[in-house]
Amino acid sequence: MKYTEKLRNSGLRPTKQRLQICEVLFETEKTFHFTINELSLKIKKQIDNKISLATIYNTVHAFEKKGYLKQIPINSNETYFDTNVSDHHHFYDLKKEKLIDLENADVGPIDIKRKIDGKKIKSVEILVKLED
């Protein structure tokens, strides 16, 4: 299995559940955005055995900590995650409540002129809200 090594290298045991979640998350043509609830439904559809919700939460958070997933800063009553972990920005369709990736070429260079003493910039994320 191609994810076994990836998990081992991260200090995560390649369990059946984690490998299955890897398939659902990463064995896709395109990257995608999801909430835990949506991922849970996707898992139910794609695999036979049951994976507990607690394990899905645990795994998503473990993957996020390891950098295999990104949390998207947005106000919703559910937390959004992204399988696209490259630096990129988002449209947020307020009507559909859907995120859309902005490619790097879609956004001009961002110039943050201010500095805060003793602090480093970890990330710079743009959220563009869309209405009709």
Pair 129, 94: CB distance under 8 Å: yes
Give the residue, chosen from 9, 30, 45, 123, that forms a contact with a copy of itself under the rule CB under 8 A: 123
Residue 117 partner contact from a copy of itself, Zn ion, Mn ion, none using kind-dependent CB cut-offs of 5 to 8 Å: none
Please give the angle made by the CA atoms of 119, 125 and 129, to the nearest 5 degrees.
Answer: 140
Pair 116, 107: CB distance under 8 Å: no
Give the residue, chosen from 72, 83, 87, 88, that forms a contact with a copy of itself under the rule CB under 8 A: 72
Pair 102, 65: CB distance under 8 Å: no
Residues between 32 and 91 with contacts to Mn ion, criterion CB under 5 A:
35, 37, 78
Q: What residue ranges bind a copy of itself (CB under 8 A)?
A: 71-75, 79, 91, 93-94, 100, 102-103, 105-114, 116, 118-132
